[in-house]
Structure 1
Amino acid sequence: MAQVCKSFNNALKDDILPWLNIIVDENLQRSRISDEILVKIASKAMGRLRTLVLNNCDRITNDGVQTVVAMNPNIEKLHVPQCTNLTPEGVIQAVTTLNQHVATLKSLKINGIYNITKDHFQTLCMLIKSNEMQHKRFYPDTSRQDSIDVGICPKCDEVRMVFDCPLETCERKRTIGGCRGCKFCIVRCEECGKCVDEDDSEAACEDTLCLVCWIKQPKCGFCNKPYCNKHAYKQRVLPESSGFVCEACYSKIDEI
């Protein structure tokens, strides 16, 4: 706040509204967010924080989250995916603290936190009154606002994000276990999310695409591999060329 203009600083100084939802997304400098900074920012909500979203903030610890939830008992969304310094026990403690007041927590995201067991998961489901049988979730959409973002994979029995195949005519659905599972157990097309074989079409970014999506995507002018939309920013354009070159081929050209 010290780096903004004085009038803007004064306008926000005593205004609670801008601080009711703290969201640290992938576009911010997440590595700079520490427990101390988080607590300082959260204090501006004066106990009325509603949303705490920390994406991949690896400096945040159990103590930092616990301090914030203790100060703000009415948090409705607690999203801490990929915050690898948090532990399952720390998350349970935070949710338990929120439950000591009016149970307002509606959405919990913890995908990417290490060592979450089935016991941890079931405890969290009980605390937030979540039905373990979640609605269908289709890859690559991870933005659903379920009460909890992970589940128990029917294939490996681990607690991870679990996806369904969007293709109603998928032959695997008729087999034992079907095609519902985590991304480690079932390979999915990076574009449409349907289950595919490991030897299906490979993209330039090494993700897997189904044949239909592979055909649709623009291809590298040298290796004839496409990028998925998520990694399309890696395309390199050569002078006087209407197409693109993938990073791997571009590096080979650069060496010549």
Structure 2
Amino acid sequence: MEISESTVEHQEHEATDSSGDEKAGPPHEALFLVSAYLPLFELLAVSGVCRTLRDAVNTDVLPWLNIIVKAPLNLRISDEVLKKITSKANGRLRSLALMNCANVTDEGLQRVVEQNPLINKLYVPGCTGLTPDGVIRAAKTLSENHHGLKSLMIYGIYNMNKQHLETLESYLQINRSQQKQPGGSRPLLFHEYKDCPTSRHDNGHAAIDVQVCPKCDEVRMVFDCPRRTCWTKIDRPMTDCRGCNFCIPRCQECGGCVDCEEMEEAVCADILCSDCWLQLPKCDFCNKPYCKQHAGKGYCPPGSTGFVCDVCYAKFIVDLHSVVE
């Protein structure tokens, strides 16, 4: 399902009709105060409640200065919808985060940055509809006339190479001392990035989320190792533990590098180190754990303190019920 102009207009029409109900009183004043802190999905939902809230949300610029588009809206955002949403900032948009928005194209992104030249944070990870040339053109536009683009996330855009990365770095206001340190002023840890990529990127990391992997020489996200044992090993410098996720397997829980002899498998097929594997609850049948990200997929049988993973549930319990019936 895609959000279209007719859908938005239909919601506004419903809001107008509902506002005519004499029994419904005006919205509480607190709703106007919290609107600036609402995520985009909730903000759009609030604007469809009644005409008063719709007008308050649409006329207030503050809620639209920092736009983050993520699930479940990411696959419904097209170029036209993105244009309409960003236009509510009246050209004063400060940060734009499009998380895995596959339907956004180079033309749609360029139109937004031309209308909002004050954007200093542009996050487009996983936007497969974009190309490296389109991102470079957007970064160039935002860097003109002393409007500084300070932070950029582009992981997941296809065909990104070293030349593209060097061009993007030239458009960013990167501190020279930060450029000399791989990974920026703070190490980039795999498990922290998976939990909250946008906030982790803002919190003192490099201006661009991708680098040239020292292992495979490809432009990818390069993670550091948080293990103290790797820092203290004389015969194993930290460069051996630093690389992209394709070159160095990492634990889903702690983000540490995992050797073949200590690699454990979770029900969800994620990689776990031995220490994290031992600490996680196990399935009553297969004795495999879920990582914390997928822990809610298990089934809790009545009278049991443990859980049954979805694989064993479908393989044993469901089949057993069908045999009994």
Contact 2:224 2:242 survives alignment (8 Å): yes
Per-residue deviation, 1:101? 2.4
The two structures, once aligned, show a CA RMSD in angstroms of 1.7
**1:17 aligned residue:** 62
Residue 99 (structure 2) aligned to one of 55, 79, 89: 55
What SS does the corresponding residue of 1:108 show, helix, strand or coil? strand
| Structure number with bigger Rg | 2
**1:255 aligned residue:** 319
Once the two structures are aligned, what percentage of the paired residues are identical? 52
Calculate the TM-score normalised by the size of structure 1: 0.94
**2:116 aligned residue:** 72
Structure 1 window deviating more from structure 2 (180-189 vs 202-211): it is 202-211
Q: Which runs of 5+ in 1 are unaligned?
A: none
Per-residue deviation, 1:244? 0.8
Structure 1 window deviating more from structure 2 (154-163 vs 123-132): it is 123-132
Calculate the TM-score normalised by the size of structure 2: 0.75
**1:243 aligned residue:** 306
Work out whether 1:42 is the aligned partner of 2:104: no
Contact 1:173 1:179 survives alignment (8 Å): no
Distance 1:61 1:29 in 2: 16
Distance 2:300 2:159 in 1: 43
Distance 1:79 1:43 in 2: 18
**2:323 aligned residue:** none
Q: Which runs of 5+ in 2 are unaligned?
A: 1-10, 13-47, 194-199, 321-325
User: Where in structure 2 are the equivalents of 1:126-137 lying within 5 Å?
Assistant: 126-130=170-174, 131=179, 133-135=182-184, 136-137=187-188
Distance 1:110 1:68 in 2: 17
**2:214 aligned residue:** 154
**1:144 aligned residue:** 201
User: Where in structure 2 are the equivalents of 1:1-256 lying within 5 Å?
Assistant: 2=12, 3-26=48-71, 28-130=72-174, 131=179, 133-135=182-184, 136-142=187-193, 143-145=200-202, 146-170=206-230, 171=233, 174=236, 177-198=239-260, 200-253=263-316, 254-256=318-320
Q: Which amino acid aligns with 2:110?
A: Q
Q: Which has the higher contact order (CA 8 A, sep 6+)?
A: 1
What SS does the corresponding residue of 2:52 show, helix, strand or coil? helix
